[in-house]
Amino acid sequence: MVARPRAPWLHPATRLLAQALSESDLQPVLYTPLQSIGTVTYHEVELEPGTYMAACFFPTAGTGAPHAMEGMVEVIKVS
């Protein structure tokens, strides 16, 4: 999923350390459905300038925890 904040906020790493983001804090921009293990998908997207978060919510085998909980999260700045 790629999302951007709905309102101004602290740098994502600072905010995540201070408190958890709720779903209502984010505006979804791109969503990709589940895919087969070992496959890769690419998406070309035109983003408006701003700060975005890309996170993987596919479950980790064995635990079921989202990959984002294992660090599969990235902050993207578009200018």
pLDDT value of residue 12: 53
The string of pLDDT tens digits covering residues 15-64 is 454 456 666 777 888 887 777 778 888 888 888 898 888 888 888 888 98
Tell me if residue 55 falls in helix, strand or coil.
strand
User: Contact, 48 vs 78, CB < 8 A?
Assistant: yes
pLDDT value of residue 56: 84
pLDDT value of residue 22: 67
pLDDT value of residue 73: 86
- Cα(23)–Cα(57) distance, rounded to whole angstroms? 13
Q: Looking at the whole model, is its pTM more than 0.75?
A: no
